[in-house]
Amino acid sequence: MQGAVPPTTPAQEIREFGLAALESSLFHLSLGTIQRPLLCTSASKLLSPSDTTTPSSLVQKSTLHTSAGNQSWERPRGPRKWLVNNQTKFEPTPFGEQERPAYVCHVKENIKYSPDKMWYVACLVRGMKIDDAIHQLQFVHKKGAVAVREALEEAQELAVRNHNVEFKSNLWVSESFVGKGLVIKGFRRHARRRFGQVKYKHCHYFVTLEEGEPPEHYYPNSRKLTPQEMLEEWLESKRQRTIPMSL
Amino acid sequence: MRQTCSVFQPPPARPNRWRHRRMKEKGVQPVRPWMEKPVFISATSGTFEAYVPPEGDGKVSATLAAGAKQKFEFLEKKGKSMMAIRKIRQFDEDFDPKVFAEEAQQIYVDMHKALADFDKVKLHQMVTERAFPMVTNQVRNKTLRWQFVSSLEPPRVVHARCTDVISKENIFAQVTVRFHTKQTLAVYDRFGRLQHGSEVVAKDVLEYVVFEKHVANTYGVWRIHDKIIPDWMPPRQPSYKTYKAEEQTPEETEVAVVEEKEQKVAETAVA
């Protein structure tokens, strides 16, 4: 990977070197399989074929029941509880009561984007209808917007396929938030023997789509007041005045 | 710890821990550890020589009723089904198709009740390993309410076959039973909304269910193995909600294109 890098200025070279190494490590991490040799060099001498074993060229190798790559079990990383919300089962609605709206929870893991920057995109989409959200995200000039759009489209498909949602446009974004994902730390050199830490941040994007019409105000406490309400507030503030040192 | 009291064992000339070295010098392979997991085949993978239900079965008519009776007698007197029933009687002396049909209906009803409750333990007793995923496929996050109203016709054994798996003595028996019953089914989705069917409206159901038993096993039990859906069976009641029709898959289009090409070639050859 380093050999393929074209000649550049020393600073760029260093950065690219770091990134390339990290990218390759990222690649391995995302795959979940690290190609390790099954035997160490010293052990291979002991188990070299002797006179009694058949030569490897004559042995018929079958591709069944052979597993390459990482032999050890790796602990699953990333969000584990979010998708469990998709498996809750509710009792049939009793006669006369209003039907419960359908919802689907979806997550897009380890998006290569900073969670702080992704927060802005998540906030934009909150409380919007699914079609409006997808159209708006097309014109947001942020890298995270692409991932959020994909997540919304996937969630919409899942809702129709698995969660008995009849109309794919009859959904709205009820929950949209970001979580911290993988952080890979690297180093970069500064002038005068100083070192800086470089963080390659990832984020998880969580979304819940609910069936039905979205509420008028997603944050009712911080909504824009109507003229009537504004007048009442003004009147209240004037009524609460006291004249100090009066009779 | 070695035995010390009864048997006298002279100490070895070389310690036991260097046994591997001695074996290696002589070129003897080390003893391979015995790692075997026993596999027990409890059910076959499909239906052998499936029953082909006659067309127009289930439609009430006087002439057909007479015809159906003739076919029933046919089963009793000769044919492969008769031989299969005799084979079953070798292992199970009291096997009688008429009695078995009633037992089969009871298993059918119990199976549906267990499915509605999603009692996995009971379901495994009613249903073979091969049929279990087919039966529980779309039931996981849903609530089923199933009622057996009545039986329109008495259940009938229409087909029987015996097969041997791996060895000649290991025999599995498969018997097809015809049920014509009245049932109600209501499926509620994850959120408690009615997705399919109705709790009140009863439907006439004609089904051909294959029961299997591992007769060579003394503890074998008759369990539901498969269901035969004939081509002439009308489609089920569609669900309430609307859905987008799936687009034709590339496989189907490729086949259609190949067929068209073949037709064109034939036409040009003829011309």
- A82-105 pLDDT tens trace: 999 999 999 999 999 999 999 999
Closest CB from A51, A52, A100 relative to B192: A100
Mean pLDDT of chain A: 82
The C-alpha R_g of chain A, in whole angstroms, comes to 29
pLDDT tier for residue B4 given thresholds of 50, 70 and 90: low
B196 Cβ under 8 Å from any chain A Cβ: no
Does the ipTM surpass 0.90?
no
Round to whole Å and give the CA distance between B236 and B207.
12
Round to whole Å and give the CA distance between B128 and B47.
12
The DSSP output letter for A39 is S
CB contact under 8 A, A89 and B243: no
Q: What percent of chain B has pLDDT over 70?
A: 86
> pLDDT tens across A29-63, in order?
444 444 444 444 444 444 444 554 555 555 555 55
H helix and E strand count, chain A: 6, 3
pLDDT tier for residue B63 given thresholds of 50, 70 and 90: low
Dihedral sign from CA coordinates of A132, A134, A135, A141: positive
pLDDT tier for residue B237 given thresholds of 50, 70 and 90: confident
Arithmetic mean of pLDDT, B130-156: 95
Burial environment of residue B250 by CB neighbours within 10 A (0 to 12, 13 to 18, 19 or more): exposed
Lowest mean pLDDT among A12-26, A85-99, B179-193, B231-245: A12-26
More confident position, A58 or A196: A196
> Is A132 in a helix, a strand, or coil?
helix
B188 Cβ under 8 Å from any chain A Cβ: yes
Contacts of A159 in chain B (CB under 8 A): none
Structure token pair of residue B192: 């408690």
Burial environment of residue A176 by CB neighbours within 10 A (0 to 12, 13 to 18, 19 or more): buried
Round to whole Å and give the CA distance between B244 and B253.
19
Give the model's pLDDT for residue B26: 92
Q: Closest Cα partner for B149 from B104, B179, B182?
A: B182
Structure token pair of residue B182: 């009245």
Round to whole Å and give the CA distance between A57 and B2.
46
Q: What are the structural domains, with CATH classification, of chain B?
A: 65-228 (3.10.450.240)
Round to whole Å and give the CA distance between B211 and B230.
17
Dihedral sign from CA coordinates of B12, B14, B18, B24: negative
Give the model's pLDDT for residue B68: 57
Give the model's pLDDT for residue A177: 98
Closest CB from A51, A93, A166 relative to B27: A51
Which one of B21, B145, B189 would you mutate to disrupt binding with A, by most A Cβ within 10 Å of its Cβ? B189
Nearest CA in chain A to B192: A92
Structure token pair of residue A130: 């699914």
CB–CB of B112/B209 below 8 Å?
no
The pTM of the full predicted model, rounded to 2 decimals, is 0.71
Which one of B190, B240, B243 would you mutate to disrupt binding with A, by most A Cβ within 10 Å of its Cβ? B190
Q: Tell me the shortest Cα–Cα distance from A162 to chain B, in angstroms.
A: 10
pLDDT at A162 over 90: yes
Round to whole Å and give the CA distance between A163 and A87.
10
Q: Tell me the shortest Cα–Cα distance from B246 to chain A, in angstroms.
A: 12
- The A195-211 sheet, strands edge to edge: A103-111, A195-211, A171-189
Contacts of B190 in chain A (CB under 8 A): 88-90, 102, 163-164
Question: What would the 3-class secondary structure string for chain B be?
Answer: CCCCCCCCCCCCCCCHHHHHHHHHHHCCCCCCCCCCCCCCCCCCCCCCCCCCCCCCCCCCCHHHHHHHHHHHHHHHHCCHHHHHHHHHHHHCCCCCHHHHHHHHHHHHHHHHHHHHHCCHHHHHHHECCCCHHHHHCCCCCCEEEEEEEEEEEEEEEEEEEEEECCCCCCEEEEEEEEEEEEEEEEEECCCCCEEEEEEEEEEEEEEEEEEEECCCCCCCCCEEEEEECCCCCCCCCCCCCCCCCCCCCHHHHHHHHHHHHHHHHHHHHHC
Q: Closest Cα partner for A140 from A156, A112, A117?
A: A117
Lowest mean pLDDT among A1-5, A112-116, A168-172, B80-84: A1-5
The b/e string for B212-229 (b: 16+ C-beta within 10 A; e otherwise) is bbbbeeeebebbbbbebe
CB contact under 8 A, B141 and A93: no
